[in-house]
Amino acid sequence: SAMAEGEALVSVDYEVFGKVQGVFFRKYTQGEAKRLGLVGWVQNTSHGTVQGQIQGPTARVRELQEWLRKIGSPQSRISRAEFSNEKNIEALEHKDFQILK
């Protein structure tokens, strides 16, 4: 049976710019992703941003995208969030949401 709109699984890559390192951004992102039931990963980059991948039901992924764009961790200051490589997937490619070093 066809899944209801918003229940299709999507994968999207993200990168968040601003004051997002040294402010527990990865830990908060992991917490929010787990609360929403999403899988993927998050890591700091060498150029001061945070990047990763989100996978899950479309509607939940949209919620985390909005969170990454506007909220973040309490001490962070997000200037912008960029999303790329969005695609529908048949199954989740990660078991959980991990912080990568």
| Residue 60 appears among annotated catalytic residues | no
**What are the structure tokens assigned to 70, written together?**
């506007």
Residue that the structure tokens 């001061």 belong to: 48
77 among known catalytic residues = no
Residue in 26, 62, 80, 88 annotated catalytic: 26
What is the spatial distance between Cα 19 and Cα 44, in angstroms, rounded to a whole number?
12
Of 44, 69, 85, 88, catalytic: 44
Coil/strand/helix, residue 78? strand
Catalytic residue list: 26, 44
